[in-house]
């Protein structure tokens, strides 16, 4: 059975020591979904909408990238990483959902899964914040890791 990486032998929380790990190119792809009520979803079908706070998707992309770069300030045991890239793409699916894909890259001794998950989640929260004046019946769901490469083993989610 695998053990938790952030717990020591005495069951205390610890940061993972990456000093002996090999530096490799690492990538992670995370996704979040924002489900809108039908009347709000229709507003997005021709592209981004502008609110009093600005263009919704464009602002969410900026917020997600900013959050990805600050993940170590938000998650206690994440290592500070100088991301090589963070790319967020937001699109509407055929229903009434915004699909947020966040891809992060770094050459480092530790992965970027948490940075990708943080970017996707903050982009989703930004969309909620910018649209909540229209409705509070907006749902954020399906925050998940889609894939990661580099490090000990690669991962690709089967149901993505």
List, by residue number, the catalytic residues: 129
Provide the phi-psi class of 34: left if phi over 0, else alpha when psi is between -120 and 50, else beta: beta
User: Residue 12 burial by CB count (10 A; 0-12/13-18/19+): exposed, middle or buried?
Assistant: exposed
User: Residues 6 or more apart from 4 whose CB is under 8 A from it?
Assistant: none
Q: What's the CA gap between 155 and 160, in Å, rounded?
A: 12
Q: What's the CA gap between 109 and 113, in Å, rounded?
A: 13
- CA atoms within 13 A of residue 17's CA, in its CB half-sphere: 3
Q: Tell me how long the chain is.
A: 160
């Amino acid at each position: 059975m695998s053990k938790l990486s952030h717990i020591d032998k005495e069951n205390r929380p610890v940061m993972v020591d990456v000093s002996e790990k090999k530096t490799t190119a690492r990538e992670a792809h995370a996704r979040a979904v924002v489900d809108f009520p039908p009347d709000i979803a229709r507003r997005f079908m021709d592209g981004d909408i502008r609110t009093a706070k600005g263009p919704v998707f464009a602002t969410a992309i900026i917020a997600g990238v900013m959050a990805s770069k600050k993940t170590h300030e938000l998650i206690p045991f994440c290592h500070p990483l100088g991301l090589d890239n963070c790319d967020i793409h937001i699109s509407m699916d055929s229903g009434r959902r915004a699909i947020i894909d966040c891809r992060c890259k770094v050459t480092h001794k530790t992965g970027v899964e948490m940075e990708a998950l943080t970017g996707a989640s903050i982009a989703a929260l930004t969309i909620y914040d910018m649209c909540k004046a229209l409705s509070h019946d907006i749902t954020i769901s399906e925050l998940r890791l889609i894939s990661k490469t580099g490090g000990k083993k690669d991962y690709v989610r089967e149901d993505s």
